[in-house]
Structure 1
Amino acid sequence: MSVFAVANLRDLAGVRLGRGRMRAEQLYRADDVSTVDADGARALQDRGIRHVFDLRGVPEQEITGRGPLEAFTGYDHLPFVLSPASDPARPSADELDSAASPPLPALSPEAVGRWYLSVTLDSADVIIRGLDSLSRVEGAAVFHCAAGKDRTGIFAASILSVLGAPDEEIVADYHASEEHLERVFDRLRAAPYGFFLENIPHAGALLRAEKDTMRAFLSHADRDHGGLVELLIARGLQKDSIDQLRARLID
């Protein structure tokens, strides 16, 4: 079977906006496209993809490089900040202090949603840089991390919020990853950097793409910052970039 097991690839044009509609075949989200083989790269090229936004960290990117897509795509490396202090799957010092401690409870969608907001705050500069670049690239673009769920979900929510998508449409887009996760995890186990989340006994909602996770993220962003767009504007996202992004992607 081809390594073109980008199991979580989809066109964001399927997301309904509050006003207008997104242009088809212009913006895709995916799991790790750097691992595709030559046939997979040609399949993405046939979709018109000419630019890749890579949200993985530096160690992940260094292991696989850009893959065969490098031959015909532009590239932005946008490594999200996943600091240990904000990682919901990392036990606290108190939790590690006692070997007699009971097993940690599985992470809830609420906990993962709060973590998404923490990642957004830590990675705001990277997200804004990606939005600025996306507003200017020519041809279709794809953005990805490893599984196409967490970092990719945050970046997708940022884009869709800027484009005026209602929250429940953003939630539905996030949840669409759920049906592909078994295939995604199979591919990650075979990837050079391996797959580790399922080795965390309390990973819980981190192993799924539940609607309540994205709802919690958007709700916390709204309550604490007035919304995701307002958070990014406060961190430096310019009106010109918003206008250009909307002009590029909305009919």
Structure 2
Amino acid sequence: MTNFTRWIDLQGAVNVRDLGGLPTVDGGTTRPGRILRSDNLQALTPADIALLVGELKLRHVVDLRSGAEVSLEGPGPLNAVPEVSIHHLSLFAEGGRHTDVEADTIEADKVLPWRERAEDEDLRVTGYYYGYLRERPDSVVEALRVMAVGDGAALVHCAAGKDRTGVLSALALEIAGATRESIVADYTATGDRLERILVRLRGSATYRDDLDSRPADDHMPRSAYIERFLQVLDDRFGGPLGWLTAQGWTDADTTLLRARLRD
């Protein structure tokens, strides 16, 4: 399976691809048809749902959006599909009534993890990614456990399918034994569809102001972002598995997820 054929073309989502077909450290490849990653699923059409649920056997959706996003955007059409279980596992603190922070108005902070440009952009993004783990280790562990469930395919998504989804996908691939090069390549592949992603998000008042506050190029997923994030876990915990173990992840969890993603 090539990087090109990993894409799943839908009418209502533009950043959908399979985590299968990636090289592993032992010379194998990750298994296709088990774990998918995506941008927002609000606009899925009946044909999209037929493909995902009927042909690809989608059974579990991990929704990483904040409570604010779900409230403002709505749960999405897959909530009405009885074969699919939706697991809402925000990576934000969820401190307020409406937002993902300790404020009660959308204006007090952004819905998405996009801020003013820092002097060292790589460190800024790495810090934000590590913040997911610091603020919501429970959601990270539970999301990975859902992705390891064996009854049909699982899909993980956020809004753009880039940052939050990128971190969870990187962790799943690391556990499965994918090479670091392939993990980075999967992360940066979102850049191939960034323009289409931004067009979709600008159509929603929930995301429009956040997007327009920064140039489009600032949203590009650069390899240094995910490389530095993984390096932080290597340096502080001996790797992603070391961090996960400290949060209650078990050898049995690792076995299940590896079985999902390994040929």
TM-score, scaled relative to structure 1: 0.84
Residue in 2 that maps onto 1:216:
228
The Cα of 1:26 is off from its aligned counterpart by: 1.3
The Cα of 1:89 is off from its aligned counterpart by: 4.5
Higher relative contact order (CA 8 A, sep 6+): 1
Residue in 1 that maps onto 2:6:
none
Question: CA 1:248–1:36 in structure 2 vs 1: closer, same or farther (change >3 Å)?
Answer: same
Q: Which runs of 5+ in 2 are unaligned?
A: 1-8, 94-99, 103-109
Question: CA 1:39–1:217 in structure 2 vs 1: closer, same or farther (change >3 Å)?
Answer: same
The Cα of 1:55 is off from its aligned counterpart by: 0.6
Letter in 1 for 2:33: E
One of 25, 31, 52 as aligned partner of 1:18? 25
Name the count of aligned residue pairs.
237
| Structure 2 residue 150 is matched with structure 1 residue 142 | no
Residue in 1 that maps onto 2:141:
128
Question: CA 1:42–1:193 in structure 2 vs 1: closer, same or farther (change >3 Å)?
Answer: farther
1:89 & 1:133 partners in 2: Cα distance? 27
| Structure 2 residue 113 is matched with structure 1 residue 67 | no
Question: What per-residue deviation string (whole Å, max 9, x for no partner) do you get for residues 185-204 of structure 1?
Answer: 11111135233333334896
Map of 1:194-209 to 2, 5 A cutoff?
Answer: 194-201=207-214, 205=218, 207-209=219-221
| Structure 2 residue 249 is matched with structure 1 residue 241 | no
One of 61, 73, 96 as aligned partner of 1:52? 61
The Cα of 1:235 is off from its aligned counterpart by: 1.4
Question: What per-residue deviation string (whole Å, max 9, x for no partner) do you get for residues 26-77 of structure 1?
Answer: 1110101233122222232232222211110111112333322221311211
Letter in 1 for 2:162: K
Residue in 2 that maps onto 1:95:
none
Of residues 223-232 and 178-187 in structure 1, the stretch that sits farther from structure 2 once superposed is: 223-232
One of 28, 31, 36 as aligned partner of 2:44? 36
Letter in 1 for 2:142: R
SS at match of 1:110: helix
Letter in 1 for 2:31: R
Letter in 1 for 2:63: D
RMSD, aligned α-carbons:
2.6
Checking the alignment, whether the CA contact within 8 Å between 1:221 and 1:231 is kept in structure 2 is: yes
Map of 1:93-242 to 2, 5 A cutoff?
Answer: 105=118, 108-191=121-204, 193-201=206-214, 205=218, 207-242=219-254
Identity %: 31
Q: Which runs of 5+ in 1 are unaligned?
A: 92-103
Checking the alignment, whether the CA contact within 8 Å between 1:31 and 1:149 is kept in structure 2 is: yes
Checking the alignment, whether the CA contact within 8 Å between 1:23 and 1:250 is kept in structure 2 is: yes
Letter in 1 for 2:254: I
| Structure 2 residue 84 is matched with structure 1 residue 76 | no
Checking the alignment, whether the CA contact within 8 Å between 1:110 and 1:212 is kept in structure 2 is: no
Residue in 2 that maps onto 1:8:
15
Letter in 1 for 2:188: H
Question: What per-residue deviation string (whole Å, max 9, x for no partner) do you get for residues 126-161 of structure 1?
Answer: 111112222224101111000000000010011011
Checking the alignment, whether the CA contact within 8 Å between 1:32 and 1:145 is kept in structure 2 is: yes
SS at match of 2:31: coil
SS at match of 1:195: helix
Checking the alignment, whether the CA contact within 8 Å between 1:107 and 1:203 is kept in structure 2 is: no
